[in-house]
Structure 1
């Protein structure tokens, strides 16, 4: 059987000391020793060429970590009708975890009374991971408070309000994205708007509604909130532009308007505030914005490593991208 390569072997082939190899492998920058870029590159090239893998037990003893990152999901993510919504988040999480040399552990079994998923249950295994990424539109407030109180390293995908302390999160910047849509519609002559959707519950919904309210106030136009509105309510209110919190609701509104003989966007414009979380008609090309889901997944893992290494509380909102579509006119 071939002899397993050691750090001494790598050091000899790269022409450096074993201590230098150790610093490069562990990406250490706090040792007070500066490693020249060309030296680091030479060591990494030898590692790449030989296929060397550091002894995982030795690595764990060195940095007191398992190099396992958890992903806790409050909702089923695959396979399900929501899979298309969550898949980009998971791809981003997996990509950066691989780059960071960490394994992923998906937590799905913890359940409280009533079948609802909870992080802290009688058989909670959350501490098997060095830290955890939370994924789900709505996060249990008691779970958040306990995570903050006990100092468990975690990052939430999606902005979260304080829970007895600041919550580390990577979210989408919905407020300016919604304001941008309203401003575009006003520039095209719209003066009466409706926000279609709950606008409450998850912070992401509240942020969308807040963006809508800020925009109509700033533009000096009319805005009405219709939590459970339909086409009849929209038309009765004299609305010419609807912002739908849920993509399927916006698509259904477009189809209902066309069945009634209305032109979209000629008679009614409909804008979607994100991506579909449940099945939606695919033949409606809605104008709206793109949630940077893959980027949020990647950045969440980056932020979690910052929490683990520096004890920081990262809070960042990533910009959404305008999608032209064909339902604004």
Structure 2
């Protein structure tokens, strides 16, 4: 009983024609390599051997050689699947998946990254980043050294979320947190609030810094008073004299509502919850919605343009949808 015939390889074609395997590869891919020129008779000899032998190129190998795998890497700096994150990342992934399907691309979730000093790292021994044509980065806070290396290496990537320069402009699709927060300040001031509080970090990740920048800009333009409160000091809200609190984290707004239920302090939350919190009242908070699904889709759109070398806006901020809610009340003296 005979076994399955062995598949012919480029090495076999090279032996049959007396050329190197590299030459066979260049002929198969219809290109030359730098200063290497293939004589017409050599090229024809290789092609004739291919025809005579019935050699069929491995499609995966050819795509790898052409660096056109239609494989998009997705790297997450923090866990993205439902656990304690209240499904925050799910809409981003839906947008990425839908766009990948429309483009005929496959997604490769890069999960082998080790955790160093409590954080995942892209670059490590044996990393498989370059199996993909390019990569989408997800996470609240990205490692600046790794961003700088990606920028310097010229490897195509796009961040979901605005990022500061890292040795050069970082391609991103983000949400206009500053503009949305400033608009909510104007709405609060228009309802008679003259002392506003911002509760949260207001610094660190770009998403936090942008929210605080929008708050400060709105307060300065309106000429009203403001105070910055830490997220873990709910008791300071009542003593601050503020009549409306802007909660950087939705979950902090929920906790605050439970603490000051009997007061007349209004609450505005700046985006969807990033961590799980139970709100038995089902309160519809005034605030804004992050365009997460569209951000994911446009991130892949930008990345595809970078891979293909086509012109596109490499940095995009998408508007957030304002949510009227029920927690911002009119206040007149």
TM-score range (shorter-chain normalised) is 0.7 to 0.9
Change (3 A) 1:232 1:83: closer
Distance in 2 between residues matched to 1:195 and 1:111, nearest whole Å: 36
1:276 aligns to 2:279 (yes or no)? no
What aligned pairs does 1:1-329 form with structure 2 within 5 A after superposition? 57=60, 60=63, 64-228=67-231, 230-258=233-261, 261-262=262-263, 267-282=264-279, 283-310=282-309, 314-329=314-329
Change (3 A) 1:138 1:311: farther
Distance in 1 between residues matched to 2:92 and 2:62, nearest whole Å: 28
Which residue does 1:21 correspond to in 2? none
Cα shift readout 1:235-271 (whole Å, capped 9, x = no counterpart): 111000000000010011111111xx22xxxx11100
Q: How does the TM-score come out when normalised to structure 2?
A: 0.77
Distance in 2 between residues matched to 1:216 and 1:66, nearest whole Å: 50
Distance in 1 between residues matched to 2:62 and 2:325, nearest whole Å: 50
Cα shift readout 1:171-216 (whole Å, capped 9, x = no counterpart): 0001110011010011100000010000111100000000000000
Larger radius of gyration: 2
Distance in 2 between residues matched to 1:119 and 1:311, nearest whole Å: 26
Cα shift readout 1:117-155 (whole Å, capped 9, x = no counterpart): 111111211111000000000000111000001111000
- SS of 1:124's partner is coil
Distance in 2 between residues matched to 1:122 and 1:61, nearest whole Å: 21
Distance in 2 between residues matched to 1:129 and 1:64, nearest whole Å: 9
- SS of 1:96's partner is helix
Distance in 2 between residues matched to 1:299 and 1:189, nearest whole Å: 38
1:80: how far off? 1.5
Which residue does 2:35 correspond to in 1? none
Distance in 1 between residues matched to 2:115 and 2:258, nearest whole Å: 40
- SS of 2:299's partner is helix
Q: How does the TM-score come out when normalised to structure 1?
A: 0.78
Distance in 1 between residues matched to 2:79 and 2:232, nearest whole Å: 28
1:284: how far off? 2.3
Point out where structure 1 has 5 or more consecutive residues left out of the alignment: 1-54
- SS of 1:211's partner is helix
Q: Does the 8 Å contact 1:254/1:284 carry over to 2? A: no
Distance in 1 between residues matched to 2:70 and 2:221, nearest whole Å: 48
1:232: how far off? 2.5
1:79: how far off? 3.3
Number of residue-to-residue matches in the alignment:
269
Change (3 A) 1:304 1:243: same
1:281: how far off? 2.8
1:64: how far off? 3.5
Distance in 2 between residues matched to 1:106 and 1:117, nearest whole Å: 14
